[in-house]
Structure 1
Amino acid sequence: MSAFASLSHRQQGLLLTGGGALTMAPDALLIKVADLPDAEILMWRGFLSALGFLLIALLRYGRGTLAAYRRCGWTGIAVALLFSLTTCGFVLGNQYTKAGNVLMILASSPLIAAGLSWVILKERLPRRTWLAICFCMVGIAMIALDDAGAGSWVGNGFALMAATTLAINFTLCRTRPGVDMSPMLVFNGLIVGSVAGLFWLSGSEPSFPAVNQLAVVILLCLIIVPCGVTLLQRGPLYLPSAEVGLLILLEVVVGTLLAWWILGEQPAPMALVGGTLVLGTLFAKGLYERRLELRQRAVTGAALQHPDERVKTL
């Protein structure tokens, strides 16, 4: 038995989700370090991540890879298109504003997904979710308003587009429970790479990146992004959504700290307050829901262990 298989179901989920969040933490930083034009970085990210996702799908499913794609159906195609917009929003957001701003805005996607579930899936949302949505929207507004000059409005807009399309993606995936949509991310990479490649070729003087830039791009797009996203995709199969949301905050916190430390992107006061409001709200909500879940498990377990006593009380 492998060391991973010997872990409990919950421990496996913590390892997969936490590992995925930490793997994705340098994403925004490496986009900045690569320092490539918009179309070029999107082209490389698209094609290389498509190759990485395909290799992972082949390793996971082997001869059943085609069957895994068929199971996704038309929903999988929509997922690929939406994730293409998420990729463009995330990459272009980092091109025009601070990495920390992009990560903090992206952290709001689970709450946007909750709102969309209320509209699309007719799910009733508890009061705490509505309060969290309001607090996060205030925090995002503070981040956007703090640094409104020098094109950062554009960057914040792209980041919000990434968060929104990712939230729609989450909601759409919930309409097909039990179906793994991660193989469709290959098509996301091909879509992004092809469209960006056309813009790159139509440029005045298309050129290849320097060796050091290419090394950063290969590390990020061929290894980090496919591995990190695949690990995160597996998390909800092992853990409740509240815990997954808490662990994904690791990417935001660690990624922001890396950008501040290595790039010297010091946050302005209002952006720092807004980001703290977003992360603090998400953390408090996730922690509260985790406690509710543990309390419910305890009540259910007690009822199962002592059914006779429960009957007597009735």
Structure 2
Amino acid sequence: MLLSHGRAVWMMVGATFLWATAGVVTRHLDEARGFEVTFWRSLFTAISLLVILPAWQGRGAFARMRASGWALWVSGLCWSVMFTAFMVALTLTSTANVLVTIALTPLFTALMARLFIGQRLPTRTWGAIVVAGAGIAWMYAAKFEQGELLGTLVALCVPVAAACNWTVQQYAHAKGHHVDLVPAVLVGALISSAATLPLAAPFSASAHDIGLLAFLGLVQLAIPCVLAVTCTRVLKAPEVALLGLLEVIFGIALAWLGAGEVPAPAALAGGALVIATLALNEWIGWRGRLQPRQARA
């Protein structure tokens, strides 16, 4: 599919909006909680991708998966941790806290890439890590006072696993091995559903819950994943990172308007500091890469 830059931007905005529906949908569950929520969402994601993947990449998609190297399976394991921690965190703390915490992924990735594969970090990124860390500490302090620190700590597993995922992919790419994102997500969904199955029993989800969790598996995760992969063929990494921050804004707004979940003042203040820092860091990096190309033109 030929995709213009403008259409790719709007497609990525649409993907972030779909990702952001997790919080508000989770708040409308009747009985399902904890690992059962993760199990059903991961299961429906896997089922959806088992249909979407061959339709999108052809009949040879699964054969290519079997022939893929170690990086695909490590990436899938990272995705499984992300799926599990994200949904469990949503059942333990506010949508705002979860989304702001996982928005730290670009900084965690930059730091992990520096530690494990030797990528140099510009001074602005070190500064962004410090400032964003202060914003998260602000949120953590409030949660500690309220005795709700656990949910935020579980949410912290998401950016850590995501950073491992992207670092593995960068390392594999440098060695000449491309990691296809959508099959890796499928592997992650299968691992997550299998790992949480024994922890989900006894099942208590109502038919209403199953319908909402099927929505999360297909519309909130499988479809936007395919959209985002399509967009990355046109958009640069900093553009994807900046547009991805819209998930935080969309997610907090949807939970506020659709479920009456008013974010705490500390979450708004700390979250605003984190998002502004991330956006500024990515924008400066983007402009820095753009200027040499404009000068050559």
TM-score higher than 0.5 here?
Answer: yes
Of the three residues 210, 228, 239, the one matched with 1:243 is 239
Of the three residues 6, 12, 18, the one matched with 2:13 is 18
Q: Show the counterpart of 1:83.
A: 79
**Bigger-Rg structure (1/2):** 1
Return the alpha-carbon distance in structure 2 between the equivalents of residues 182 and 227 of structure 1: 10
1:186 aligns with 2:186: yes
Superimposed CA distance per residue, residues 70-122 of structure 1 (whole angstroms, 9 cap, x where no aligned partner): 45311111111111111111111111100111000100111100000101110
Deviation >4 Å, runs of 4+: none
Larger deviation, residues 90-99 vs 213-222: 213-222
Change (3 A) 1:145 1:72: farther
CA contact (8 A) 2:90 2:98 kept: yes
1:111 aligns with 2:120: no
1:249-260 mapped onto 2 (5 Å cutoff): 249-260=245-256
* Letter paired with 1:224: Q
Of the three residues 36, 42, 50, the one matched with 2:38 is 42
* Letter paired with 1:43: F
Shift of 1:41: 0.8
Q: Show the counterpart of 1:312.
A: none
CA contact (8 A) 1:82 1:166 kept: yes
Shift of 1:144: 1.4
Superimposed CA distance per residue, residues 143-171 of structure 1 (whole angstroms, 9 cap, x where no aligned partner): 11112256521100011011110111111
Q: Show the counterpart of 2:259.
A: 263
1:141 aligns with 2:137: yes
1:174 aligns with 2:176: no
1:68 aligns with 2:64: yes
Return the alpha-carbon distance in structure 1 between the equivalents of residues 40 and 147 of structure 2: 24
Larger deviation, residues 15-24 vs 42-51: 15-24
Instruction: Give unpaired runs (5+ residues) of structure 1.
Output: 302-314
Return the alpha-carbon distance in structure 2 between the equivalents of residues 195 and 272 of structure 1: 34
Q: Show the counterpart of 2:292.
A: 296
CA contact (8 A) 2:35 2:88 kept: no
Of the three residues 209, 214, 217, the one matched with 2:205 is 209
* Letter paired with 1:229: C
Return the alpha-carbon distance in structure 2 between the equivalents of residues 22 and 267 of structure 1: 18
Superimposed CA distance per residue, residues 175-200 of structure 1 (whole angstroms, 9 cap, x where no aligned partner): 23343132122221122112221123
Shift of 1:237: 2.6
- Aligned pair count reads 292
Change (3 A) 1:69 1:291: same
Q: Show the counterpart of 1:195.
A: 195
TM-score by length of 2: 0.92
What root-mean-square deviation, in Å, do the aligned CA atoms of Structure 1 and Structure 2 show?
A: 1.8
CA contact (8 A) 1:53 1:186 kept: yes
* Letter paired with 2:100: M
Q: Show the counterpart of 2:22.
A: 27
CA contact (8 A) 2:238 2:286 kept: yes
CA contact (8 A) 2:131 2:274 kept: yes
Change (3 A) 1:299 1:67: farther
* Letter paired with 1:196: T
Shift of 1:282: 1.1
Q: Show the counterpart of 1:311.
A: none
CA contact (8 A) 1:107 1:279 kept: yes
Shift of 1:26: 0.5
* Letter paired with 2:189: G
CA contact (8 A) 1:106 1:159 kept: yes
CA contact (8 A) 1:12 1:238 kept: no
TM-score by length of 1: 0.87
State the secondary structure of the residue aligned to 1:19: helix
CA contact (8 A) 2:40 2:210 kept: no
